[in-house]
Amino acid sequence: MPSPVREQARFYHSKRWERARLAYLEERHFVCELCGGLATIVHHKVHIDADNVSDPMVTLNPDNFMAVCQACHAKVHGDGVTAEGVAFDADGNVVPA
Q: Footprint of Zn ion on this chain (CB under 5 A)?
A: 32, 34-35, 37, 43, 69, 72
Element (H, E) at 45: none
Q: Which is nearer to Zn ion, 60 or 69 (CB)?
A: 69
Q: Which is nearer to Zn ion, 23 or 81 (CB)?
A: 81
Residues 6+ apart with CB under 8 A from 16: 60
CA distance 44 to 42: 7
Q: Which is nearer to Zn ion, 1 or 82 (CB)?
A: 82
In the complex, least distance from residue 37 CB atom to Zn ion, rounded to whole angstroms: 4
In the complex, least distance from residue 32 CB atom to Zn ion, rounded to whole angstroms: 3
